[in-house]
Amino acid sequence: MKIRRRDFLKGVAASTLLLAAEQNPAQAKRARKDLPPNAVGILYDSTLCVGCKVCEHACKQANNKVAEHTSPNEPMWDDPQDLSDKTLNIIKRYGVEGQKDSVEGFAFIKRHCMHCIDPACVSACPASALVKNPENGVVTYNKKACIGCRYCQVACPYNIPKFEWDSPFPEIVKCQLCSHLLAKGGISACCAACPTGASLFGPVEKLRLEAKRRLGMEPGKYYDFPVADIESTEVQQHRAGGYVKHVYGERELGGSQVLYLAGVPFANLGLPDLPEDSYVALADGIQYAIYKGMVYPIVVLGGLIYIIRNREEKK
């Protein structure tokens, strides 16, 4: 008995080492994911945004969200400080504390779900309450499946999902790219409302090309800019801004369906510098190496049952 037991343990040790080798964190990543076939998204161009916040209003109207008052004074207007359980889309203005805009520059930024190509929230959710549509790639939420564990909030690299902390029956709240409007052939409410074309809806492939076109523009010269939907014919003439030569969201963490262009460094707009491989790919890779087809766990369980049974019978 002793010898067999030792052989078994040797086997376990050997396979653990193999596993460890396979599990070398640098190599455990799974392959990157591709853009869904009919992926739609938003190109937000900070240089075109005038900060009118009409998109915030349109978003609240389209998604049945109420106003929120965060200022200590008598409430006068809807003044969300950040995304919240009542605000799925927000315009923020970058400025440096104590500095004049004319010295430090300023810029608007619009924040909402990025609709990642490899979304951490979808991978994290244990109950498939967050899913990525295989056709248009929109990440949607199903409250009937959600258990409220909030792992999506921990996992989201952009801190997008919000939770209804003050409700006894809370839900997760996030931008779903107005999927209820898309289903009726429409576009997201924020883009439909945007008066300057700063928020532009459309197929991601076309938005990527449009972003590239803008990066090639000569600052100060006039160009045509599509408005609302890149597939519509409506255009406006604007002077091209001085762009930072980078399309944020094209490669970050495997890419997203929301893309950003800006005239100031993205880090200033609260968009962190991120690697091209998603953290999901790494976590999945490690889980996959260990639990591939449940082979290792079943082998280990079989071995354990074998040695424990023998031991109990000897007693």
Partner 1 sequence: MQERQALGGKVLTVPFKVCAAIALIGLFFIGKRFIFGIGSVSNMNDGYPWGIWIAYDVVVGTALACAGYSIALIIYVFNKGEYSPLLKPALMTSMFGYTLAGISVIFDIGRYWQAYNIFLPWLSNLHSVMFEVALCIGTYILVLWMEFAPVLLDKFKADQLKVRLNRIIFVFIALGILLPTMHQSSLGTMMLMAGHKLSPLWWSGFLPLLFLITAVVIGYAAVIFESLIAAIAFKRPMEMHLLSKISALMPWLLGLYLVVRIEDVNLRGYLPLAFEGGLLGNLFLLENLLFLGALLILAYPNNRQNPQLLFIASCAMLLGGSMYRFNTYIVGFDPGTGWRYFPSVPEMFITFGIIAAEVMAYLWFVKTLPVLPRLTKA
Q: Between 38 and 287, whose beta carbon lies closer to partner 1?
A: 287
Q: Closest distance between partner 1 and the C-beta of residue 77, in Å? A: 22
Q: How far apart are CA 28 and CA 176, in angstroms?
A: 31
Q: Closest distance between partner 1 and the C-beta of residue 79, in Å? A: 17
Q: How far apart are CA 315 and CA 306, in angstroms?
A: 15
Q: Closest distance between partner 1 and the C-beta of residue 169, in Å? A: 7
CA distances from 293 to 11, 173, 225, 287, 297 (A): 19, 34, 51, 11, 9
Q: Closest distance between partner 1 and the C-beta of residue 197, in Å? A: 28
Crossing angle for the helix pair 279-291 and 2-22, nearest 10 degrees?
Answer: 160
Q: Between 75 and 270, whose beta carbon lies closer to partner 1?
A: 270
The number of residues in the chain equals 315
Element (H, E) at 124: helix 120-124
Q: Closest distance between partner 1 and the C-beta of residue 25, in Å? A: 2
Q: Closest distance between partner 1 and the C-beta of residue 231, in Å? A: 34
Q: Between 50 and 127, whose beta carbon lies closer to partner 1?
A: 127
Q: What angle do CA 207, 268, 178 make, to 5 degrees?
A: 40
Say how many C-beta atoms besides its own lie within 10 A of residue 170's C-beta: 15
Q: Closest distance between partner 1 and the C-beta of residue 282, in Å? A: 6
Q: Between 70 and 236, whose beta carbon lies closer to partner 1?
A: 70
Binding residues for partner 1 (CB under 8 A): 5, 9, 20, 24-26, 28, 82-85, 120, 123-129, 143-151, 153-155, 157, 159, 162-171, 253, 270, 272, 274, 279-280, 282-284, 286-287, 290-291, 297, 300-301, 304-305, 307-309, 311-312
Q: Closest distance between partner 1 and the C-beta of residue 223, in Å? A: 34
Q: Between 38 and 310, whose beta carbon lies closer to partner 1?
A: 310
247-254 contacts at long range (C-beta below 8 A, 24 or more positions apart): 247/208, 247/211, 247/212, 247/215, 249/114, 250/208, 250/211, 251/276, 252/276, 253/116, 253/118, 253/120, 253/157, 253/277, 253/278, 253/279, 254/32, 254/33, 254/116, 254/117, 254/118, 254/278, 254/280, 254/281
Q: Between 213 and 309, whose beta carbon lies closer to partner 1?
A: 309
Say how many C-beta atoms besides its own lie within 10 A of residue 33's C-beta: 17
Q: What are the tokens at 23? A: 């599990």
Say how many C-beta atoms besides its own lie within 10 A of residue 218's C-beta: 9
Q: Between 77 and 165, whose beta carbon lies closer to partner 1?
A: 165
Per DSSP, the three-state class of 165 is coil
Q: Between 95 and 186, whose beta carbon lies closer to partner 1?
A: 95
Q: How far apart are CA 167 and CA 119, in angstroms?
A: 27
